[in-house]
Structure formats: C-alpha cells, structure tokens
C-alpha cells in the first residue's frame, strides 16, 4: 500500500515538471549583483566663504532613491499619464578612489532627515521646499587652537617664550536660495574673541564675517554682490576649515587680499566645458571698514582658472577622494588698488604718516591631486607707490612733529606645500615652505618659514586634529637676524 502511494506521488511530480517544460515557461532565480565595496560619495561641494567655492551655500536637493527592481509579468504595463512628473535621475556614483580608509566613504555620505531635509558632515543641515525654490542650509564651524612660540632674541619688554590656548574660530553659516534655485544667498557670522577683534573688553569687528547674494541664471555671467573674500588668489579664498595646516602660509598672509564689499562677475564653468572659470570685479577698497565714507579709491580684480583635466575640488586641501586619475588647476590673478588707506591692499594697518598707497598686484598658483597626494604652489608680486600723509606725533614733552614717512610694501613671495594621505589610513603628512622678499624701495622685511604638519582625519575636514611645527627667520634691515619656533595643535569641527 505504502509503495503504491510513493509511486503515485513520484509519477504526479514527473508529469507536473514535464508539463511545465512543454508549456515553454521556466522559473529562473535572479543572480544577486555583487555588493559595492564603497557607498557612492556625492561630489564634494567646495564649501567655504568664497566666490569660487561657496561652502554651506549649495541648497542641494534630496537625492531621489533608486527605484526597486521590477518583475516582468504577462500583464501589460499600464500607460503612463502624459502629465506625470518625470523622476529625477539617480545620482552618479563618484570615483571609487585609491585605498581609502575602510568606512570613510560611507561616513561622509549625505543623510536624509526627511523628505526634503538632509545632513552632510562638514556641510550641515539643508531644508528645502518640494519645488526647490526655497532652501536654507545651516552649518557650524569650531576650531580650538593651542600655540607655543619661542622668539630669539625676545622682543623688547616681552618674554621670549609664550603660549596661548584659544577658541580660534567659531562660525555660523547660513545659505540657500529664495524664489528660484538661481537666486543664492550666503551669510557667515563670527563669534570668537580674535575674529571680533576683542581688545580691552571692546569689540572692534562686526560679527558679520561675510554676506552676499548671487544670481546664477546665466552660467557664463553670474553677478555676486556683497561682502566676501576677493577672488584674487587661491589660498585666501580656500575654506579656512579645509586647510592642511592650522592657517594660511606666510606669503598668503602678506600678499593675499582680504574681504571687501563690491560686485563680482564670473563663472564656475565658462562655456560649459568643465575646464574654465573667471572672475572680474570692483570693490570699495576699505575692507572691513567699508561703512565709512569713501574717497573713490576702489580696487579692481581679475582672475582666470584652467582645469585641463576637468573640474574637481581644487579649493579643498588634501586629496581625500584618493582619485586614480590626476587633476590639475592653474590660476592667474591681477589686482589694482587705488588710494588704499592701509599698508597692504585691503589688509594691514594705516601707514605711520596716514597717507594712501596705489599698488599693482599679481599672483599665479596651482593645485594638483592624485592617489592621496596633493601639491599646492603659488607666487606673488606687489609694486606700490605711496601718497604720503600729514599725520603727526606728539613727544612726551608735548613737541609735535611730522610722523615718519612709511615706504610701500613692494616685494615678492612664494609658497610650496605638499601632503600625502597614507593608504587606507585617515592620516596625512605634509610640509610647507613660504617666503617673502622686499624689492626696490620698500618697508617689507625678508622673512621665511618652513616646517612639517600632521593631520588625523576622524571624518575628513569635518572633524580633524592637526599638529604642525614651523621654524621662521627674518632679516630686518640694519638689525640682526631673528628666529622663531612655533608649535600649533588645532582641533576642528565642521557640523
């Protein structure tokens, strides 16, 4: 009896399989696609106070999730209504890179907080309306800096060795777009004592570090109006929270142009080639003192950039993408400062005699990245002509005499900087050499600075710990050489 039942079951199963084969249908299990070793990384938005690169300012859109796989059936597909919204394309995955630390790509991807709310480390939280016509990005930057300095010989009346521990920067970033995706706005507020110029309990600087509006409807002709870093050189426009060292180089501090109020016309992709950028602009020439009456002493600037191997994040130090294909950016800038009231164009302090300075300024720079290696270089030139003022000084006995006439700070400068992110480690070793030389009749002192740097990136530039050492020496005219040794340790958090 049991043998008969087993025989009938086997026969029924054989007939079922045979019928399926004759019917021409088959069931095939879909082979699972191999899992990607890294999550797709959105292109790094250059995110800082700059015209070339605006941090925190790209309102962004919430990435459209990839549609789930569909299973083909014999039922005809329904006809799509003609007025149905076309879904956004899935974001293109970024280049895999070369030996990135495990988990770094996933850690730096954008996260969705809601249907139109996202968070990205180092960029902040972005809120956007469904039509993307209104967006607000909120970001926060904090830097705590410890500095030890030893000076030989010690300055008169001061100790040779000093140290400081300070909140170097505390910044709030607000940016986005209004009415349309093409009207962009950006405001950066500052709160640290040094940024506010706190002296003897008095605040001497505005909490508004930068603020501007841009209209990018026409790709090759984008006007930007407000108070921002003049797009004259690479280093001064780079996001300060995204540097390989705790601060800018010696030459950049001397020759770079600061923030000023004015108008800039430019394009981040001239001709749609992905290889050209330009800027031309006119500024009031008074820097952070732009609120006072102006004597028509304006500053005029032009800059051209070429990326022969295509666009990339050239305004961010370090090659965190560890890209396999090399990338290069070359920049040239020129600025003419007319009747500047400071001893450096839109920077420095008032000359001792209180006059003004006209100056021609030029710079050239490069940024190169490949496989975790980054190289930055720049050269600078300034030729100034003074209009001496009539300032006076009063001696202790009450005698009044004309102040000493101060010469222009004419000279040249340079920076050479390189970094290497170790394979599969969030650790970067770097080195920098920068120098300044006076030329002609000048008040500029010959100065040099050289030293290594070490950075540990917990989350790329969004959370990092940096240590550097610099040995500097100067050659004041008619005086002995002075030497300085400096050690800095800085913790950076960019929310």
Residues in the chain: 495
Residue 18 pLDDT > 90, yes or no? no
Query: Chain centroid to CA 55: how far?
Result: 6
Strands 259-267 and 222-229: antiparallel
What is the percent of the chain with per-residue pLDDT over 70, rounded to a whole number? 80
Residue 57 pLDDT > 50, yes or no? no
Give dist(CA 207, CA 47) in Å, integer: 20
Top pLDDT among 38 and 216 is at 216
For residue 462, the model assigns a pLDDT of 96
Predicted model pTM: 0.76
Which pLDDT band holds residue 113 (cuts at 50, 70, 90)? Answer: low
Domains, the chain, ordered by start: 43-62+95-494 (2.40.160.10)
pLDDT in tens, 225-247: 999 999 999 999 999 999 999 99
For residue 322, the model assigns a pLDDT of 95
Please, are residues 258 and 299 in contact by the beta-carbon 8 Å criterion? Answer: no
- Once rounded to an integer, what is the mean pLDDT over residues 127-155? 94
For residue 478, the model assigns a pLDDT of 67
Query: Chain centroid to CA 146: how far?
Result: 23
For residue 30, the model assigns a pLDDT of 38
SS (H, E, C) 68-133: CCCCCCCCCCCCCCCCCCCCCCCCCCCCCCCCCCCCHHHHCCCEEEECCEEEECCCEEEEECCCCC
For residue 200, the model assigns a pLDDT of 83
Give dist(CA 55, CA 166) in Å, integer: 24
- 453 Rama class: left (phi>0) / alpha (psi -120 to 50) / beta: beta
Residue 479 pLDDT > 90, yes or no? no
Within 8 A by CB and 6+ apart from 330, the residues are: 305, 306, 307, 308, 364, 365, 366
């Amino acid at each position: 009896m049991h043998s008969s039942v087993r025989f009938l079951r086997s026969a029924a199963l054989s007939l079922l399989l045979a019928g399926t084969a004759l019917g021409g249908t088959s069931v095939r299990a879909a082979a699972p696609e191999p899992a990607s070793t890294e999550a797709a990384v959105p292109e790094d938005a250059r995110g800082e106070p700059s015209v070339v690169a605006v941090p925190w300012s790209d309102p962004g859109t919430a990435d459209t999730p990839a549609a789930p796989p569909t299973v083909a059936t014999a039922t005809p597909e329904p006809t799509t209504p003609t007025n149905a919204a076309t879904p956004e394309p899935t974001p293109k995955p970024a280049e895999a890179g070369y030996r990135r630390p495990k988990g770094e790509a996933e850690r730096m991807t954008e996260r969705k907080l809601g249907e139109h709310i996202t968070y990205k480390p180092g960029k902040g939280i972005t809120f956007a309306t469904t039509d993307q016509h209104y967006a607000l990005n909120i970001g926060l930057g904090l830097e705590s800096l410890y500095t030890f300095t030893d000076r030989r010989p010690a300055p008169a009346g001061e100790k040779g060795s000093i140290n400081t521990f300070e909140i170097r920067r505390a910044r709030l970033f607000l940016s986005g777009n209004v009415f349309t995706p093409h009207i962009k706005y950006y405001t950066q507020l500052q709160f640290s004592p040094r940024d506010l110029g706190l002296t003897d309990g008095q605040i001497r600087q505005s909490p508004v570090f930068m603020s501007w509006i841009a209209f990018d409807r026409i790709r090759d002709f984008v006007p930007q109006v407000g108070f921002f870093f003049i797009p004259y050189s690479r280093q001064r426009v780079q996001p300060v929270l995204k540097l390989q060292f705790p601060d800018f180089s010696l030459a950049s501090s001397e020759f770079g142009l600061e923030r000023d109020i004015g108008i800039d016309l430019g394009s981040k992709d001239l001709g749609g080639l992905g290889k050209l950028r330009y800027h031309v602009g006119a500024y009031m020439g008074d820097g952070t003192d732009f609120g006072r009456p102006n004597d028509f002493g304006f500053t005029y600037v032009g800059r051209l950039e070429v990326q022969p191997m295509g666009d990339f994040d050239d305004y961010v130090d370090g090659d965190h993408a560890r890209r396999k294909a090399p990338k290069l950016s070359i920049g040239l800038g020129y600025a003419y400062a007319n009747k500047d009231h400071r001893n450096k164009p839109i920077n420095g302090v008032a000359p001792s005699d209180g006059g003004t300075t006209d100056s021609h300024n030029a710079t050239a720079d490069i940024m190169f990245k490949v496989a975790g290696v980054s190289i930055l270089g720049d050269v600078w030139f300034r030729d100034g002509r003074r209009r001496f003022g009539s300032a006076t000084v009063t001696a202790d006995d009450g005698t009044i005499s004309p102040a000493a006439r101060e010469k222009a700070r004419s000279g040249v400068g340079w920076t050479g900087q390189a970094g290497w992110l170790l394979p599969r480690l969030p650790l970067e070793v770097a080195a920098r050499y920068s120098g300044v030389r006076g030329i002609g009749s000048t008040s500029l002192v010959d100065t040099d600075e050289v030293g290594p740097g070490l950075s540990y990136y917990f989350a790329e530039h969004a959370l990092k710990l940096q240590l550097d050492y610099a040995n500097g020496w100067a050659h004041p005219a008619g005086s002995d050489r002075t030497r300085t040794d400096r050690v800095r340790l800085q913790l950076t958090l960019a929310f």
